[in-house]
Amino acid sequence: MAYDNSPAIEVILLFGLPGSGKGTWGKILGMMPGFYHLSTGDMFRMLDTESELGERVIQIMSAGELVPDDIVFDLMRRNLRHAEDIGRFNRARDRLVLDGFPRTPRQAEALMEIATIKCVLLLDCDNRELLINRLRRRAVLENRADDASEAVLRRRFEIYDREISTALAKVASSLIERIDVSRQPVRILCTLSQALDKRLG
């Protein structure tokens, strides 16, 4: 994803099954000074659905499949450049919180070229039925095409199981912090804060 030749960006990775709260916790972290949150899923959901690219991406997402790497790289590059142009993100000052990236070995390799990974927050939940129930609620509340059918959700879980192992295999296992997201939100917040305090100092 060659972005440019500036120093490595410090990155926090957020991994988790659909419904594990990646987006929520990513947004909360992104509100803190010194952090910039980039969700690839949100980036795709914000595309103009009338455009050729938007239509193509929505179709892929609605089937629960992964968007091709080149599209992901191109949109991420544009998002980061824009965030830098408007002063929202400064790589020398801010940590980049990546939510939903990397999801393929090629994405993981591209990330390693431009970033130093400080920490991997793995939002973990043994109870998949709990997640499915959360996602059913979200499909209604947020009108999300990618949450719409149970078959698509199960397909997304299947892809996640595959993607997590390939992406995490590229990251040092010592960087991984497992966070149990079946607990109360306040407890999750405490664990996340402790993990970041330990990793970022």
Residues present in the chain in total: 201
Binding flag, residue 41, ligand AMP (CB under 6 A): yes
Strand blocks (E) in the chain: 9-16, 35-39, 95-99, 115-124, 176-180
Q: Print the binding letters for residues 9-28 with ligand AMP: x by CB under 6 A, - otherwise.
A: ---------x----------
Site for ligand AMP (CB under 6 A): which residue of 28, 53, 58, 60?
A: 60
Q: Whole-number minimum distance, CB 67 to ligand AMP, in Å?
A: 4
| Nearest-10 Cα torsion for 45, 49, 52, 54 | 0
Instruction: Give Cα separations from 94 to 69, 76, 157, 173 (angstroms).
Output: 25, 16, 31, 24
Cα–Cα dist 174/120, whole Å: 9
* Terminal Cα distance for the chain, rounded: 29
CB of 146 to ligand AMP, least distance (A): 5
Binding of residue 37 to ligand AMP (CB under 6 A):
no
- β-pairing, 95-99 vs 115-124, is unpaired
With binding defined as CB under 6 A, does residue 146 bind ligand AMP?
yes
Encoded one letter per residue, x for contact with ligand AMP by CB under 6 A and - for no contact, window 61-100 reads x--xxxx----x---------------------------x
Nearest residue to ligand AMP, by Cβ distance, number only: 41
Task: Give contact residues for ligand AMP (rule: CB under 6 A).
Answer: 18, 40-41, 44, 60-61, 64-67, 72, 100-101, 103, 107, 146, 156
